[in-house]
Amino acid sequence: MRIMNTETNNDMSCMPFEEYIKVKELAFAYVPLQKICSYFEPTESLVKGTVFPSLYKPYK
Amino acid sequence: MWIYEKKLEFPIKIKKTDPALAKVIISQFGGPDGELAASLRYISQRFAAVTPESKATLSDIGTEELAHLEMIGTMCRQLTADANIDEIKKAGFDAYYVDHGLGVYPASASGVPFTAAYLQSKGDPITDLYEDMAAEQKARSTYEYLMNLTDDPDVLEPLRFLREREIVHFQRFGEALQNVKAYMDSKRQFVIDKPDYMNGNKSKCMKCR
């Protein structure tokens, strides 16, 4: 587990979601389950609105 | 049961009075995609949730939306608290002012009072979660439109924070959907205790006589 200070998740060795999505049927939405790869620092997380770099998607 | 913490989820200190901005931000207080609708939606839907995980997701996010409601109310108040009559008239805030003064009232940007018709509690846990995911997306869009309408960093920072929370909530509802789907698809077995008269002990069995 890594503590990140940057705004981007550069750790390519860890995918923050399931690698194989088991689609079993039509007409059903699928959001992949999150896997934890890295964290922001606690104080940085409170400012950003998330502790997970993989969920941090700023506007513009 | 709830516990109240006497602080905001994200600090708000707006220095510049701007009633025109308060007039549109109020939509996230009592508008169609606002925090009050979100909170009521999740806190109502949780009673029909079928797994402990989805119940917890709805309770936790419904609670956090109340904290967001508090943030939005604070922003509206700080944007108008020091406004004089000239500023109120110039900003077009006079129509709101005549009904609510400088109080914070749950209404949309166009002045429509809050209504529970903004939300649904369908009693179908899958249907409810689809609505919740859509609600998070609609709130995210609203925050982006609000961010387009200002360049005051004191306002932009809390809006940016609230928008990010919508993205995290979408992910959590998506995960809850997988959880509920797995439960609905699972084969369930119902077990009842063997009644006395099937035990072969006829002396104790009243129905066997």
What DSSP assignment string belongs to chain A?
-EEE-SSS---TTS-SB-SS-----SS----PPB---EEE-HHHHHHHT-S-GGG-----
> A22 to chain B nearest CA, in Å?
11
Q: Per-residue pLDDT for A58 more than 60?
A: yes
Per CB-CB distance under 8 Å, the chain B contacts of A26 are none
Task: Give the per-residue pLDDT at B43.
Answer: 98
Mean pLDDT of B128-141: 98
Digit-coded pLDDT (tens) for B19-53: 999 999 999 999 999 999 999 999 999 999 999 99
> For chain A, which residues make up each domain, given as ranges?
1-21+28-60
Chain mean pLDDT for chain B: 95
* Shortest Cα distance, chain A CAs vs residue B99, angstroms: 35
pLDDT band for position B188 (cuts 50, 70, 90): confident
Instruction: Give the pLDDT band of residue A23 (cuts 50, 70, 90).
Output: confident
Q: What is the pLDDT of residue B195?
A: 79
Q: Is the ipTM of this complex over 0.85?
A: yes
Domain B19-204: state its class: mainly alpha
The CA-atom distances, in angstroms, between B75 and each of B14, B61, B120, B122 are 7, 21, 27, 33
Contact list in A for residue B181 (CB cut-off 8 A) is 28
Written as six digits, the tokens of B204 are 């104790």
Asked whether B51 and B173 are in contact (CB, 8 A), the reply is: no
When CB atoms are compared, the residue of A29, A33, A47 closest to B130 is A29
Within 10 Å of residue B52's Cβ, how many Cβ atoms? 9
Domain ranges of chain B: 19-204
Give the pLDDT of residue A11: 62
CB contact under 8 A, B175 and A55: no
Whole-angstrom distance, CA of residue B152 vs CA of residue B72? 15
3-state secondary structure of B195: coil
Residues in A closer than 8 angstroms to B174, CB to CB, are 29-32
pLDDT at B196: 74
